[in-house]
Amino acid sequence: MVLNTLGRYFAARFVSSALGVFFGLFVLLVFVDYIDLLRRAGGLSVSAFVIAQASFFRVPQLLERLLPFCILIGGMTCYLALSRRLELVIARAAGLSAWQFIAPALWSALALGVFASAVFNPMSAYMQERAKQMEAELFGQGSGSLQDANGFWMNQVSPEGQSIINAARSQQQGAVLSGISVFRFEPDFQFKDRIEAREAVLEPGYWLLKDVRKYTLDSAPEEQATLRLPTALTLAQVRNSFATPESVSFWQLPSYIKASESSGFATAGYRLQYHKLLAKPFLLAAMVMLAASVSLRFFRFGGVQKMVLSGVGAGFLLYILSKVTEDLSKAELMHPLAAAWLPVCVGGLAGFLALLYQEDG
């Protein structure tokens, strides 16, 4: 009974520390993003509340990537606080080993990882799409806020000729495009015209362009409310060109992978994202192991600052490893399964061996 009560206490301390770091980062990122949106909307008549709402919707997807660091910093904060208040000393004096008071945090990290993959990821994907829609409504076609590097490019060929489509930003995994430029060519590859449009919506057999302006070589620009651009592209093909794996929720990824495979498109990015979400609970548990390995040292022994810096450095190296494996997987030089689980294995084994050396070595 004492162990159960103590285990719940350690788990509560760890969860409160991790959530504290998470919400602290959330507030900071929302504030920074809010300031940036205010600067970009300086010449527009937009209320501060709407801009704050757009910032609120943009931040969760970034926080999802930072969740392992929240667990790492939260774990170190928790165990350093327990050590400073001599609670770990009392637990050791009661006959508990480090493995016993780390176990509640490990189980809590696994539960947080399951929640992050199954609940928070679909929510952040939805909020990201909502943020894109709000930005398109706030800033319109001509604003630089819609530009994402050089935008998205796609080529389509029909009996009427070739069309090269550039979109500043995509919504709904490519079904709705904003900031459209279309370069059309005749079947003999002679330039036909250029079309600018505020928005394009994919309908069966055509793109529906809205607020259109058409430019040709031998006449003045022509404006139209709507224009149909024929296409043979399907939604699955458009998703492969415009949708990023991060914009697809965990529960939709299997169907996206299956649709891309049936259409003959590469699925490495979707597979990597799916395996990363499956591995996230174990990645968070590995972060707990790393945090415990650098923060269980008693304060009276000294050297705590160096241990904490080494823990932060280990987390940064683990992040670099995950980015390298991710790039290798997207280039199809590494299997997505190995790319997703290699950082988990390296981080978990590093923390486990460090703890084993400290406690039993």
The pair of three-digit structure tokens given for residue 250, joined into one six-digit string: 């965990």
Edge to edge, the sheet with strand 161-171 lists: 152-158, 161-171, 176-185, 191-203, 206-215, 222-230
- pLDDT tens for residues 61-115? 889 989 999 999 999 898 888 888 888 778 777 777 778 878 899 999 999 999 9
Residues 6+ apart with CB under 8 A from 292: 75, 79, 98, 102, 105, 351, 355
Residues 6+ apart with CB under 8 A from 348: 282, 285, 286, 289
Does the pLDDT at position 142 exceed 60?
no
What does the pLDDT read at residue 144? 37
Q: Distance (Å, rounded) from C-alpha 108 to C-alpha 8?
A: 10
Q: Work out the pLDDT band at 244, boundaries 50, 70, 90.
A: confident
Does the pLDDT at position 301 exceed 80?
no
What does the pLDDT read at residue 62? 87
Q: What is the phi/psi pair of residue 204, to 5°?
A: -60, 110
What does the pLDDT read at residue 330? 81
Q: Write down the pTM of the prediction.
A: 0.78
- The DSSP letter of residue 41 is T
Residues 6+ apart with CB under 8 A from 159: 187
Q: Distance (Å, rounded) from C-alpha 274 to C-alpha 247?
A: 12
Q: Distance (Å, rounded) from C-alpha 326 to C-alpha 159?
A: 39
| Average pLDDT for 202-229 | 87
**170 - beta bridge partners?**
177
SS3 state of residue 152: strand
| Average pLDDT for 25-48 | 83
Amino acid at 182: V
Q: Distance (Å, rounded) from C-alpha 40 to C-alpha 178?
A: 18
What does the pLDDT read at residue 287? 92
The pair of three-digit structure tokens given for residue 266, joined into one six-digit string: 């590469």
Note whether 24 and 57 are within 8 A (CB). Answer: no
**167 - beta bridge partners?**
152, 180
pLDDT, mean over the chain: 82
Is the pLDDT higher at 136 or at 154?
Answer: 154
- pLDDT tens for residues 10-20? 899 999 999 99
Burial of 197 (0-12, 13-18, 19+ CB in 10 A): buried
Q: Which long-range contacts (CB under 8 A, 24 or more apart) does 20-26 make?
A: 20/74, 20/77, 21/70, 21/73, 21/74, 21/77, 22/63, 22/67, 22/70, 22/74, 25/63, 25/66, 25/70, 26/59, 26/63
